[in-house]
Structure 1
Amino acid sequence: MPAAPTHPPDPQADLAAEQAHLARARDELARMREHTLSLTADGGDALAGEALAQTLWLRAKALQDDPGTTLFFGRLDTAEDALYIGRRHVSDADGDPVVVDWRAGVSTPFYRATPTDPMGVQRRRRFGVEDGQITALEDEWLGTGEPGESGGSGILAREIERPRIGPMRDIVATIQPEQDEIVRADVATTLCVQGAPGTGKTAVGLHRAAWLLYAYRARLARSGVLVVGPNRAFLEHVGAVLPSLGEITVRHTTVEELVADATGATVRSTDSTEVARLKGEARMAEVLRAALWGQVSSPTEALVVPRGSRRWRVPAYQVQEMVEELRTRGVGYAAARAMLHQRLAHAVMVAMERSGDAPDDRVQDSVARSAPVKAYVKDLWPQVKPAAVLAALLTTGEHLADDQRAMVWERPPRSAASARWSAADLVLLDELTDLVDRTPSLGHVVLDEAQDLSPMQLRAVGRRASTGSLTVLGDLAQGTTPWSTTSWEESLHHLGKELSAGSTHLEELVRGFRVPSSVIEFAARLLPSMAPDLAPPESVRSNPGRLDVVRVEEAVEGAVRAVQEAAAHEGSVGVVVPDTWVGRVGDALSGAGVGHEVMDGEHADDTLRLRVFLVPATVAKGLEFDQVVVVEPAAIAAAEPDERTGLRRLYVVLTRAVSGLTVVHTDPLPDALAVSSAGPTSA
């Protein structure tokens, strides 16, 4: 490592030296990758060899260099040493560090050191980067007695405001102290992060997953890490972040895909809003439990087991005691059923011992597998299929309250196999599947846009982390479903994590780094009408951004003109429209020669080749674009079932812009936005 500085720097000489260090780091990374590729999985058994080959492949993939970025983005100088901070660890042939992973403990001061608490750092250096090359450097002096003054970072500000083309990128170079504290929280801690638009909560959650995999690699490699997002478009948008940090094994999914994979069922119908709301209520968990355990009957006859010349008898009252004890153990239906075989066999063995016999464990196992015991348990405690239990529930309405009868099928299927399940049904199936056989727990789950999930959906995610922890991300002001939560304490309860417990914490991010002040202040006018208890976000961007509110005679034509003007700026362009307008606006853009891609939430394009993206309003959540054109806000709000949800949907779409926002409308804006609306207007 280079020695710590002892005199004022020479900018040109320093820049040349840092460029040389980057070239050296790239050479060393290439050497590390070549070494990994040269290793073979020879020797040992075939299974172990296959596992080693897979490990080596993953290691080599993680060591690939990205020519579009640098291997390091900062440097820390202490009295003894200088450390280069980067996206991954790079060492030389002797094992000495050339670049230190940003997740290492020694990297923490890069994010948290201040002039009042320098944490042993004399100088913090940031690098300006263009096309994977270092083009500038900036020093912040934190130690006493050194040259220069500490001040705001221009490089940091430019990196935050740099145009975004393609998927979300990592923020390792710009993590703020309050974000870093969340990222580095202990693996046993469940964190709920309430974050206003632009505060980086999604990026923080993904970087927390990367940090946990670094700090607790052995544990999480076995148990796994999962990222759950609202839709496919969102997952495609954020899917490049973890691979850019060297983590390529984390699965990304939606709640719908998660329960579909677990149950093997397919969505073939759509519920009304009211029925979907009923199926998502927390009380459905008890309804399903009652429907499942209602399959177990009370014994009316004793168990009789012939063995040799004797017939051994277990009275019905004793069997009933066994059943009641097993029902209260908290184990799954199938596991408790298997235990009943052994309980009955043990009772027979006790009777044998009382008669003077001396049976051993082999006798008990033989009795448990005997035909009389199997037949008795089959009648008393039948095997079940979750789909059949749910189909019976929705056909007969048994166990449902009067106000839940709307869930009962008008046209029952002939069998569970022919049932036309809805998305809400699959969540209920997942609950039943867990009641029959417990769902394995992962080590950590990152759940984004959690405010939009129903209690039953939250339970589905929570059981995937029953023995692990969660990072729960969301914004109460952006809840846009009829069942969206108004309390994080309630959501955490449904996830199986109590806020009152010492291992669960609620954090709030209010400083906005993505959305410029002119845009966030405009959108925040909606907060008093829809989320009066939330503090408005605070933009810390040096550039206030651009806001244009344009009233036009014809909204689609006006939208095309606005998109053409927005495309003249650098970066990506998001065109957010009412869902039913996608076809009209898409045809108009194509007719005007504006190439674009539609992000429909289900089939986002992996390559994201173009700069202009046509986004239905219901898919916009979690996405970000440099320039955003919002078309007909009144229609976006009116498409929702009630006024509050409509304003929340509008709040979401108005806060997707990183640099500039154009609002195009023909109909009057909602009252909160119409008062002293900013920006030019035109006919």
Structure 2
Amino acid sequence: MPAHQLAPDIPTDVLAAEQAHLAESRAALRAMRAHAQSLSADAAGDWVSQQILQSLLDQRVAALADHPDTPLFFGRLDRAAGDDLPGVIYVGRRHVHDGNSRPLVVDWRAPVSRAFYQASPADPMDVVRRRRFGYHGGALTAFEDEPLAEGGEIGPSRILTEEIERPRTGPMRDIVATIQPDQDEIVRSTVGQTVCVQGAPGTGKTAVGLHRAAYLLFTHRERLARSGVMIVGPNRAFLSYISSVLPALGEVKVDQTTVAGLLGEHAAPEDPAVSTVKGDARLAKVLERALWLHIVKPEEGLVYSRGAHRFRVADYEVREIVASLRGTTRYGPGRAALAQRLAHQVLVRMEQRGDSPDDRVQDSVARSKPVKQLVDSVWPKLVPEQVLFRLLSDADFLARAAKTDLSPDEQRLLLWPKPYRGWKSAKWSAADAALLDELADLIERRPSLGHLVVDEAQDLSEMQLRALGRRCRNGSATVLGDLAQGTTPWSARSWRTVLEHLGQDGEVTELTLGFRVPREVLDYAARLLPSIAPDLAAPRSLRPGAGSLSVRQGGEVTTAVREALDREGSIGLIVPDAMVAEVSGALDGIAHAVLGPDSAEEHRLLVVPASLAKGLEYDHVIVVEPADIVEAEPRGLARLYVVLTRAVTTLTVLHHKPLPAQLTA
């Protein structure tokens, strides 16, 4: 028997039966959604309960939305008899059942569906036959069988290959139909396990991270519904690109944001050398000292009057209380504890006089003017901006806080050349945002999420990683990236270091086998690896892609664009940032859009600044003037590596200036 049986070789009544099952499943999904829409929150008790229940019902309705252009199921498992599970299982994006609760489609995340991704002739996992379905739009048009019970080997799947190579426009699609065994192992990692994925271009690391989030939400719905799941990406353009994946999988309540969106949209211009120092983890100790330096030694005791009586707490007792609290709690709770401890001492003296004060009296004393004045003078109320402002504008204070953690040159680098009049008028940089977040957590503990997915993590500073780590300190994380694509001055060189600053003890796994980028294109880009990431293994691609690469000296942009427009699929015209306006103007008469850092442009032809290309992919990529991309920033070769690996079908390189030496070797 051949390794695969394709639909044209099988009677058409088999295909018709599968199409009928698809129609039945879609009708059942519509009935499930109609039932959810018919439910009312009015039966809940009070108004708050009604609002909560209505929100849950709305989420349920949204999760049951049918996408007519998306296959409802993509696989089928014919299982051997011997257990209580059905003999035939259809694997799809969500669970669908009929009016008698008979499963018509089983969610791809269910334990029984694991065999669709992991079963092989060597380990069939009780599966006799695996069937893959081919679709055109939402219509089932073909299928392909893989016999698993007879041993031997299974050759490449034509349907799988066509799905991976299918041209695309618009946002990123889910990959539930094409998840490979090594990807599936990552996706199904346990909720308490932090996983770090070093993924070469085209290996699907971003999709793996998103699908892991969907899997964890399915498997631990109640737990993660309380604590939350968050996706953190490099920019808004990237978030727009991935925005459709989780909703297509039925997960509509997952926060997606950028580091700036999480820490604060601060963007004051700053010398990269200054940002590099601010991003160093040594600043954590400097900030901690700076905060606690605001506590002053008490010089006076407390006098509290109640009626004709005066109750005194001596100055040495106040100093002992302050010393016992300092550094043993966060700054904010420490202030509150100081007031309560002082009030307690007053109550002790009241009891010594024969009074019987209760907790209400203690709270009243803690809120009294004498106590508040003493606390404010010894343990002043602070916000993060006050502390950081003083640190960056006062050389003596910075020196006291830095001690030996920062060199004199680094301290001078951090000081503002022209200080602002006050902290309320200060303009903060993106690097400052992580410092302010560190201080905020030192003042009041930040709550933790259940799971955090961080993409392009190699570009985050150590202080940014600490900020993200605080968001999952009681949970777990999926850390995604590629050390070879690090483009910031502080880019990571080791994933172990990244995990250390994130505060997570995770497992590092590497994906080197690509499915999206053609081999000819990937091999061309990999010429840069010895210069940017010599310790990484060279990526490999399953797709030969003969004829996918074209390098043209003196080629015209409009000519290359018109050639790409004659092909099917999306087009990314990636140019040096400084050339965006020039190239866009040269396309006069050719419909296109320009991708911006805060925009979510959807157009078949996009002019993409090189600095925004990371994480995106297009069927056809045209790269203009690689030399200018390299010269634009210190890690320009890494940026060029990113740019050259955005192509799914073809890559055209246009240049008038000489190419970097690495590409001509």
Normalising by the residue count of structure 2, what TM-score does the alignment of the two structures yield?
0.94
Asked if 1:536 corresponds to 2:542, the answer is no
Contact between 1:184 and 1:211, CA under 8 Å: does it hold in 2? yes
2:227 is matched with 223
1:74 is matched with 75
Alignment of 1:7-22 (within 5 A): 10-22=10-22
Post-superposition offset of 1:96 = 1.4
Post-superposition offset of 1:316 = 2.9
1:469 is matched with 476
Number of corresponding residues:
642
1:478-527 CA-to-partner distances (Å, cap 9, x unmatched) read 000001010111111111113xxxxx211111111111100101111111
1:363 is matched with 361
Q: Distance in 1 between matches of 2:547 and 2:517?
A: 8
Asked if 1:240 corresponds to 2:240, the answer is no
| Secondary structure in 2 matching 1:661 | strand
Asked if 1:169 corresponds to 2:173, the answer is yes
Post-superposition offset of 1:328 = 2.6
Q: Distance in 2 between matches of 1:424 and 1:529?
A: 27
2:120 is matched with 114
| Secondary structure in 2 matching 1:123 | strand
| More displaced 10-residue stretch of structure 1: 214-223 or 414-423 | 414-423
1:458 is matched with 465
Structure 2 counterpart of 1:299, one-letter code: P
Alignment of 1:499-538 (within 5 A): 504-538=506-540
2:449 is matched with 442
| More displaced 10-residue stretch of structure 1: 475-484 or 271-280 | 271-280
| Secondary structure in 2 matching 1:166 | coil
Asked if 1:211 corresponds to 2:215, the answer is yes
Post-superposition offset of 1:620 = 0.5
2:576 is matched with 578
Q: Unaligned stretches of 5+ in structure 1?
A: 1-8, 261-265, 499-503, 676-683
Asked if 1:431 corresponds to 2:409, the answer is no
1:182 is matched with 186
1:661 is matched with 651
Q: Distance in 2 between matches of 1:11 and 1:407?
A: 75
| More displaced 10-residue stretch of structure 1: 105-114 or 364-373 | 364-373
Change (3 A) 1:10 1:549: closer
1:96-146 CA-to-partner distances (Å, cap 9, x unmatched) read 11100001111001011111011111111000110111111000011138x
| More displaced 10-residue stretch of structure 1: 437-446 or 89-98 | 437-446
Q: Distance in 1 between matches of 2:236 and 2:168?
A: 19
Contact between 1:129 and 1:136, CA under 8 Å: does it hold in 2? yes
Contact between 1:668 and 1:674, CA under 8 Å: does it hold in 2? no
Q: Distance in 1 between matches of 2:174 and 2:351?
A: 68
2:40 is matched with 40
Asked if 1:602 corresponds to 2:598, the answer is yes
Post-superposition offset of 1:425 = 1.9
| More displaced 10-residue stretch of structure 1: 434-443 or 28-37 | 434-443
Asked if 1:24 corresponds to 2:28, the answer is no
2:58 is matched with 57
Of 414, 422, 429, the residue aligned with 1:407 is 414
2:302 is matched with 303
1:680 is matched with none
| Secondary structure in 1 matching 2:606 | strand
Q: Distance in 1 between matches of 2:419 and 2:155?
A: 69
1:275 is matched with 274
1:317 is matched with 316
RMSD: 1.7
Post-superposition offset of 1:459 = 1.4
Contact between 1:290 and 1:399, CA under 8 Å: does it hold in 2? no
Of 580, 602, 605, the residue aligned with 1:612 is 605
Q: Distance in 2 between matches of 1:79 and 1:625?
A: 42
Q: Distance in 2 between matches of 1:394 and 1:153?
A: 60
Q: Distance in 2 between matches of 1:237 and 1:350?
A: 64
Contact between 2:260 and 2:266, CA under 8 Å: does it hold in 1? no
Of 98, 103, 108, the residue aligned with 2:104 is 98
Q: Unaligned stretches of 5+ in structure 2?
A: 1-8, 82-86, 400-405
Post-superposition offset of 1:244 = 0.7
Contact between 2:520 and 2:544, CA under 8 Å: does it hold in 1? no
1:70-96 CA-to-partner distances (Å, cap 9, x unmatched) read 100000110231100000110000111
Post-superposition offset of 1:324 = 2.7
Structure 2 counterpart of 1:337, one-letter code: R
Q: Distance in 2 between matches of 1:164 and 1:325?
A: 63
| Secondary structure in 2 matching 1:168 | coil
Post-superposition offset of 1:149 = 6.8
Contact between 1:516 and 1:545, CA under 8 Å: does it hold in 2? no
How many percent of aligned residue pairs carry the same amino acid? 57
| More displaced 10-residue stretch of structure 1: 426-435 or 233-242 | 426-435
| Secondary structure in 1 matching 2:127 | coil
Post-superposition offset of 1:359 = 4.0
Asked if 1:326 corresponds to 2:330, the answer is no
Contact between 1:519 and 1:547, CA under 8 Å: does it hold in 2? yes
1:30-49 CA-to-partner distances (Å, cap 9, x unmatched) read 00011111111113211111
Structure 2 counterpart of 1:471, one-letter code: T
Post-superposition offset of 1:598 = 1.1
| More displaced 10-residue stretch of structure 1: 234-243 or 319-328 | 319-328
Asked if 1:89 corresponds to 2:95, the answer is yes
Contact between 1:157 and 1:542, CA under 8 Å: does it hold in 2? no
| Secondary structure in 2 matching 1:42 | helix
Q: Distance in 2 between matches of 1:212 and 1:221?
A: 11
1:438-486 CA-to-partner distances (Å, cap 9, x unmatched) read 2221111110000001111111211111211111100111000001010
| Secondary structure in 1 matching 2:42 | coil
Q: Distance in 1 between matches of 2:517 and 2:452?
A: 27
Contact between 1:85 and 1:107, CA under 8 Å: does it hold in 2? yes
Q: Distance in 2 between matches of 1:178 and 1:150?
A: 17
2:160 is matched with 156
Post-superposition offset of 1:317 = 3.0
Q: Distance in 2 between matches of 1:625 and 1:144?
A: 40
1:293 is matched with 292
1:6 is matched with none
Asked if 1:349 corresponds to 2:342, the answer is no
Structure 2 counterpart of 1:423, one-letter code: A
Q: Distance in 1 between matches of 2:467 and 2:154?
A: 49
1:402-460 CA-to-partner distances (Å, cap 9, x unmatched) read 22222222222222222122222222222222222222211111100000011111112
Change (3 A) 1:448 1:359: same
Of 404, 420, 423, the residue aligned with 1:416 is 423
Post-superposition offset of 1:350 = 3.6
Contact between 1:140 and 1:149, CA under 8 Å: does it hold in 2? no
Of 563, 566, 571, the residue aligned with 2:564 is 566
| Secondary structure in 2 matching 1:122 | strand
| More displaced 10-residue stretch of structure 1: 535-544 or 201-210 | 535-544
| Secondary structure in 2 matching 1:629 | strand
Post-superposition offset of 1:384 = 1.1
Post-superposition offset of 1:161 = 0.8
1:259 is matched with 263
Q: Distance in 1 between matches of 2:67 and 2:188?
A: 25
Q: Distance in 2 between matches of 1:206 and 1:228?
A: 11
Q: Distance in 2 between matches of 1:343 and 1:181?
A: 53
Contact between 1:167 and 1:238, CA under 8 Å: does it hold in 2? yes
1:371-423 CA-to-partner distances (Å, cap 9, x unmatched) read 22222111111111222222222211322442222222222222222212222
Asked if 1:481 corresponds to 2:488, the answer is yes
Q: Distance in 2 between matches of 1:184 and 1:314?
A: 60
| Secondary structure in 1 matching 2:346 | helix
1:624 is matched with 617
Normalising by the residue count of structure 1, what TM-score does the alignment of the two structures yield?
0.91
1:181-221 CA-to-partner distances (Å, cap 9, x unmatched) read 11111111111111111110000000011111111111111
Post-superposition offset of 1:327 = 2.4
Change (3 A) 1:479 1:49: same
Contact between 1:141 and 1:149, CA under 8 Å: does it hold in 2? no
Post-superposition offset of 1:10 = 4.1
2:498 is matched with 491
Post-superposition offset of 1:357 = 5.1
Structure 2 counterpart of 1:440, one-letter code: P
| More displaced 10-residue stretch of structure 1: 648-657 or 430-439 | 430-439
Post-superposition offset of 1:308 = 4.7
